[in-house]
Amino acid sequence: MRTSITPLRGRNQRGFTLMEVLISMVVITIGLVSLLAVFATAMAATQDAQEDMMAKQLASEAMESIVTARDSAQITWAQINNVANGGIFVDGVTPINLPGADGLIGTADDALAGPEILTLPGPDGIVGTADDQQLSLANFTRTIAITPVINGGATTPDLRTVTITITYVTPHFRATTKTYVLSDYISQYR
């Protein structure tokens, strides 16, 4: 008995056509370009996160300066106000400067102290070595607004609202102006 294998007729084996290859390459290219765009957006968001953190720290630093000055009796309750209301804290938008001779952030003597510059660790990861990097805060501004608390139409004499606004521009692929606001109450009692 002899068996023979006969090929199936009507079933041709063939590879991909040129059109199928081109379509698959276009689909893969679109996917890779989309992935690259997501990667670029993630990198920009990481850089923005650093500036967001710096804005938060600058606002917290100013608030702590005011509270510490009150707690240590360095300034009086009447001085915890904006200049327009008889206090010592500058009205309006100011650059981020070092605290002046009084040690308080946001007062008139800060302009004489010069701009604040952050020192970041260099490639060795240690601050205070020769490879440290200096980061200017020129794209940041601060506003300290101190207002009385009004309760039932009357001003509460022993309580004020301190609102610190940090405004900054993110200089990455799409420059955006961002704002961080820290608002809290402060009383004359320690």
E strand or H helix that includes residue 47: helix 18-71
Confidence of residue 153 (pLDDT cuts 50, 70, 90): confident
Q: Is residue 164 part of a domain?
A: yes
Model confidence at 6: pLDDT above 70: no
Mean pLDDT computed over 55-72:
95
pTM of the model: 0.75
Q: Is residue 3 part of a domain?
A: no
**Domain of residue 163, residue span:** 18-187
Q: Is residue 8 part of a domain?
A: no
Q: Is residue 71 part of a domain?
A: yes
Give the Å distances, CA to CA, from 65 to 75, 102, 105: 11, 11, 6
Q: Is residue 13 part of a domain?
A: no
Q: Is residue 89 part of a domain?
A: yes
Q: How many domains is the chain built from?
A: 1
Q: Is residue 68 part of a domain?
A: yes
Q: Which residues contact 29 (CB under 8 A, 6 or more apart)?
A: none
Mean pLDDT computed over 76-100:
95
Q: Is residue 117 part of a domain?
A: yes
